[in-house]
Amino acid sequence: DTAVSQTPKYLVTQMGNDKSIKCEQNLGHDTMYWYKQDSKKFLKIMFSYNNKELIINETVPNRFSPKSPDKAHLNLHINSLELGDSAVYFCASMRDGGGYTFGSGTRLTVV
Amino acid sequence: AQSVTQLDSQVPVFEEAPVELRCNYSSSVSVYLFWYVQYPNQGLQLLLKYLSGSTLVKGINGFEAEFNKSQTSFHLRKPSVHISDTAEYFCAVSDISKIIFGKGTRLHILP
């Protein structure tokens, strides 16, 4: 059973399109995150949700909108995609006490 | 605010030789420390973590790290590397609310 699952694994799309990435965790964790890994492998936090409530929003363009329908899901919707949005996006969840579990990533390519 | 510095962007080492990947952190509060490994085109896998207790932490694949509070370091070591250890290694720090990553160290294993 996959603990943190993301779909799709790969996403190729044209500039200007709107796309979504889904994330689900079956660990019962209260907190979920989105991270972006750029072409230089640098991992940067984008958002954090705790029990469906936005906790962290790290100066991400408002074209990016996270949505958490319940505490097991945190989806990422991106409007008007730009070339610079190409990256690998990782979802993660955290249990109380600092144990983080990451999804396998979604490689987004904007052409 | 926390930050993590990985002093080496790349470390070449001969197969079966020992290796140390350096990590320093800064934080105004107590933190948890982690090392993650990312194999080519893969997600993030937890190698080991320090939450409390013994400062010498043993992880998977023969890796270990030592938490040194006075030097604010958490260096990763392995006594004998294999070709399969070729990967990107990330040091990370967490204050519970989020996890912050260093920029990564690429470990090159030379035959």
* Alpha-carbon gap, residue B97 to B105, rounded angstroms: 25
B residues 29-48 lying closer than 8 A (beta carbon) to A: 32, 34, 36, 38, 42-44, 46
SS3 A85: helix
Q: Which of A56, A99, A105 sits opposite B97 (nearest CB)?
A: A56
* Alpha-carbon gap, residue B26 to B24, rounded angstroms: 7
Confirm or reject contact between B67 and chain A (CB < 8 A): no
* Alpha-carbon gap, residue B63 to B97, rounded angstroms: 27
pLDDT of res. A1: 65
Confirm or reject contact between B103 and chain A (CB < 8 A): yes
The 3-state DSSP composition of chain A as helix, strand, coil percent (nearest 5) reads 5, 55, 40
Query: pLDDT per residue over A2-21, tens digit each?
Result: 799 999 999 999 999 999 99
A41 vs B contacts (CB less than 8 Å)? 38, 88, 103-104
Instruction: Sort B79 into a burial class: Cβ within 10 Å, 0-12 / 13-18 / 19+.
Output: exposed
pLDDT of res. B96: 75
Determine the average pLDDT of the residues in A61-85: 95
Query: pLDDT per residue over B16-73, tens digit each?
Result: 999 999 999 998 777 899 999 999 888 899 999 998 888 999 999 999 999 999 999 9
Confirm or reject contact between A79 and chain B (CB < 8 A): no
What chain B residue is nearest to A47 in terms of C-alpha separation? Answer: B98
* Alpha-carbon gap, residue B98 to B111, rounded angstroms: 38
- Half-sphere exposure (Cβ direction) of A48: Cα atoms closer than 13 Å: 17
